[in-house]
Structure 1
């Protein structure tokens, strides 16, 4: 870790322009690691040009905003990609137009697309890695509450508020250090958990239409007509992937949403490795939280059968 962190900082030192990317369909960890790294580097290097780019997710607008960067600004720039396992999932395809590329991630190393690749699968989140990066250079004294808030939200998001099994003693130590900074974490957590009132009838639909078998496998199918009925977008529907997580006896579940051009499948489990099945279908992710896209509902059923066979 020491060697890789030093290499990353050396690359940052050499460039005047740094552009930070992350994955499409961003979650709190994507936001937290990307924007937290940006703010930290702005504090450490006030004379450098540091940007964060990518499409916004409306439900996470309260966390932060992104920059408009021209193509020419990538000339001679260092590009850093946070929280993204494989290059097709990087938001903004211009990531390859910089002079050099760094990957910082905690997902299993499927695609080592960077000139420097730092992957720590033992970290709860990429936000935890950014905390370790800052701490490695004894820079906790130069960061402010905005950095702490961003990294804390990223860690909270990827650990399910410290309920998931990726929460380690070190994760809690990092969170404890971040809570020493003056931001209102209760208020921020409330914002993170808030949902638009118009979405709650859809949550009721999910709770009434899951398909659970006696093995503990469950599937939820959200078709286009369901989205239209409840007047919600596919990305809004995905917010409810864990709506059924508290069902007694549940072991593996898949949440499929028709996004028009593909069926986006979010796969979750309780202590059972499922990212191998996701990989078989062209996806990937963590052992207990993965994703994959399939072309149609027939392929979704094949995926569901493979997951069921795990049990």
Structure 2
């Protein structure tokens, strides 16, 4: 599949790279890192990155704004997106050919070429491994690509703390560091928070709830976000605020958005991506996202999560 992807890329003069909505550093790191590799390797090609911006992450990479007709006869590559409704910028279907590169469970194998590796820590790691496999065939990984891919790996492994961190992950990170990137600058930008977000973190720690000692949750309504002057994106960064509380094996973080409620699910054991799919979402077995539309639905999510946690604890 790695060879097929490279041969397909070589056959197109225009390449447009997408990723998922509500981008995280791996989505942007893999999208931007792939784009940087292609620009360095094929300077004669037109390479575009598209999708909505997250102001907190524009330090990584910024998007291009292209008209619809740019998609004519273009190759479209979608990174880090399990199912097509979550692709940022639904014009992805206007291209001539579509490639999916992802590390989530392949619930929807959309695309003409599909490369999914659920054993990879991140799609950023996959893009590095693709480069490693094809570097003798002319691929160039420059410092900018290394910076973006390293940031994506760091984020999706929780600074190398999550269980998805493997020997392959450390090898990729080490090779990227050799490119002379400033790891300190990357960490500082990834994990800095505004004073308002830090104060909201205190509120979260004071107000999260634990059910039966095993499942945690909190709901941040619009009023609380307004009181602290924090955006939905900034509030969502706090999903792991109470992750280390003894006994909790999974938790859910609700944040009000206009006309819907963002759901962030995390786990230390119970598989939660099937639960996320039940509520208009998806993701990894231990880290997923979803969307609900009422307070009543949040109660259903919590109830389902508690049941998952009980099943997991009783089966240990």
The answer to whether the superposition gives a TM-score over 0.5 is: yes
Post-superposition offset of 1:213? 2.5
Residues 152, 283 of structure 1: alpha-carbon distance in 2 compared, 3 angstrom cutoff: same
CA distance in 2, matches of 1:70, 1:142: 29
What per-residue deviation string (whole Å, max 9, x for no partner) do you get for residues 180-201 of structure 1? 1111111211111101122211
- Partner residue in 1 for 2:116: 119
CA distance in 1, matches of 2:299, 2:196: 30
CA distance in 2, matches of 1:215, 1:249: 6
> Is the contact between residue 211 and residue 306 of structure 2 (CA under 8 Å) also seen in structure 1?
no
Post-superposition offset of 1:282? 3.1
Which of 273, 276, 285 in structure 1 is aligned with 2:274? 276
- Partner residue in 1 for 2:313: none
Which of 237, 248, 251 in structure 2 is aligned with 1:250? 248
Post-superposition offset of 1:292? 1.1
Q: Does 1:129 align with 2:114?
A: no
> Is the contact between residue 263 and residue 289 of structure 2 (CA under 8 Å) also seen in structure 1?
yes
Post-superposition offset of 1:145? 1.1
CA distance in 2, matches of 1:9, 1:168: 26
CA distance in 2, matches of 1:69, 1:42: 17
3-state SS of 1:256 partner:
strand
Runs of 4+ residues over 4 Å off in structure 1 = none
- Partner residue in 1 for 2:59: 62
- Partner residue in 1 for 2:80: 83
Q: Does 1:303 align with 2:266?
A: no
Which of 265, 268, 283 in structure 1 is aligned with 2:263? 265
What per-residue deviation string (whole Å, max 9, x for no partner) do you get for residues 92-136 of structure 1? 111111111111000111211211111110000000000011001
What per-residue deviation string (whole Å, max 9, x for no partner) do you get for residues 157-188 of structure 1? 10000001111111111111111111111121
- Partner residue in 2 for 1:35: 32
- Partner residue in 1 for 2:174: 176
CA distance in 2, matches of 1:49, 1:71: 15
3-state SS of 2:73 partner:
coil
Q: Which moved more, 1:62-71 or 1:25-34?
A: 62-71
Q: Does 1:71 align with 2:68?
A: yes
Which of 145, 151, 171 in structure 2 is aligned with 1:153? 151
Q: TM-score, normalised by structure 1?
A: 0.96
Post-superposition offset of 1:34? 0.3
CA distance in 2, matches of 1:218, 1:113: 34
3-state SS of 2:135 partner:
coil
What per-residue deviation string (whole Å, max 9, x for no partner) do you get for residues 124-156 of structure 1? 000000001100112598321111111000000
Tell me, which stretches of 5 or more residues in structure 1 are unaligned? none
Tell me, which stretches of 5 or more residues in structure 2 are unaligned? 311-316
CA distance in 2, matches of 1:254, 1:183: 35
Q: TM-score, normalised by structure 2?
A: 0.95
- Partner residue in 1 for 2:22: 25
Post-superposition offset of 1:214? 3.2
